Amino acid sequence: MHDNRSTDSNPLAGSLEARLRALPQPRVPADLERRLLAAIPAAQPLARADRPAARAYRSASPWRWLAAAGVCGMLAAACLLIALALPRGDATRSVAKTDQPRHSAGQTNAAAAPAGNRMRPFFDASKPPKFAWPLAGAPSLTAASRLRAVSFD
Amino acid sequence: MPPDDQFPWQDLRAGRPEACAELVRANYQAVYRFLVHLTRDVHRAEDLTQETFASAWQRIASFEGRAAPSTWLHRIAYTKFIDAERSQRRAAALLERCPSRADLPDPLDIALAGDEVRRLHEALDELDAADRAPLVLHYLQGLSYREMAVVLDEPVGTVKWRTSEALGRLRTRLKEEVIDDARQPLH
């Protein structure tokens, strides 16, 4: 198997290849063989595939893979269950805000409100609900209204 | 070349000293000559040959026998040579390496073999190791392109191209030498 391109393009190439093949080879030191033979270790390590640990691993490997897959599946199922069981506060609140009409303070019906709304005061402690002052004939005020300081004197 | 079916692979993998000795006897000369041509230094070639076989004993357990043992050993030898060249290149920054034509194993034989052989040896030595390796493997060691691809860790097409290029450069060097000789005055 030789390169035909070089021989075709140049007639001298063939002779050069023949001259290269005919080059005298360097002499090998006489004691090199003896040294190399002496360097052969007495006991070679066993082939990797024949080691007892490798055999045990190879025989147990299908079960090992099955066990690993089972554990991974159980973990994934547990994560899914936890995610489903957690209260979805934000999502429910946004839906309640958009879908339900806005109730006045007197019309609040705790029994009719969904579970998410019932839990809302507990979670939204920083945002107090509207409060109607019990004053006859006076317009209802909210906690957010600004009151003058003289009203409390 | 497919792996030799007659070779006692099982004995070799099992680390039987007889099989290892047979591997040494069958291949050490080729490995040594390959390394002499690459290094141009008989002492380095000897050291690298011993390192090659020491490395082979370490890897023999994992040798799968996909390639012929000689190809496998050439591959290890070439890797050893590349590693040695890298470390020597670092050292060469401190100490410039002299051309080692005097270290060639048989200068007398070469001289006796004739002027043409001497010219060819010199032109071969002046090539880079990257050019010398495919030429030595193919023409002096007799490896096929497929085996050379394993040794040089390159595709077969690349190996063919490299061999052709190296042969062209060798031819150019030989022509230059002939022209230089013709220009020299006769004594």
pLDDT digits (tens, 9 = 90+) for A49-72: 555 555 555 555 677 888 999 999
CB-nearest partner of B17 from A17, A36, A40: A40
Number of continuous H segments (helices) and E segments (strands) in chain B: 9, 0
Q: What is the mean pLDDT of residues B98-121?
A: 60
Q: What is the mean pLDDT of residues B125-142?
A: 91
CB-nearest partner of A1 from B61, B144, B167: B144
**A21 neighbourhood in chain B, CB within 8 Å:** 139-140
What is residue B13's predicted lDDT score, i.e. its pLDDT?
A: 75
Q: What is the mean pLDDT of residues B144-165?
A: 94
pLDDT, tens digit (0-9, with 9 covering 90-100), for B27-47? 999 999 999 999 888 999 999
What is residue A4's predicted lDDT score, i.e. its pLDDT?
A: 39
Tally the residues of chain A.
153
What is the pTM for the complete model shown?
0.56
Burial class (CB in 10 A: 0-12, 13-18, 19+), A80: exposed
Mean pLDDT of chain B: 81
Select the more confidently predicted residue: B186 or A19: A19
Q: Give the residue numbers in A contacting B (CB under 8 Å), as ranges.
A: 1, 3, 5-6, 10, 12-13, 16-17, 19-21, 23-29, 32-33, 35-37, 39-48, 50
Q: Helix crossing, B145-152 with B69-92: angle to 10°?
A: 40
User: With a cut of 70, which residues of chain A have pLDDT below it?
Assistant: 1-14, 43-61, 88-129, 131, 133-153
Do the chains contact at B15 and A44, CB–CB below 8 Å?
A: yes
What is residue A77's predicted lDDT score, i.e. its pLDDT?
A: 94
What is residue B2's predicted lDDT score, i.e. its pLDDT?
A: 47
pLDDT tops 70 at residue B69: yes
CA distance, residue B90 to nearest chain A CA (Å): 28
Nearest of B111, B157, B104, B166 to residue B139 by alpha carbon: B166
Which residue is closest to A4 within chain B, CA to CA? B164
**A32 neighbourhood in chain B, CB within 8 Å:** 28, 32, 46, 49
**How far from the centroid of its chain's Cα atoms is residue A148's Cα?**
58
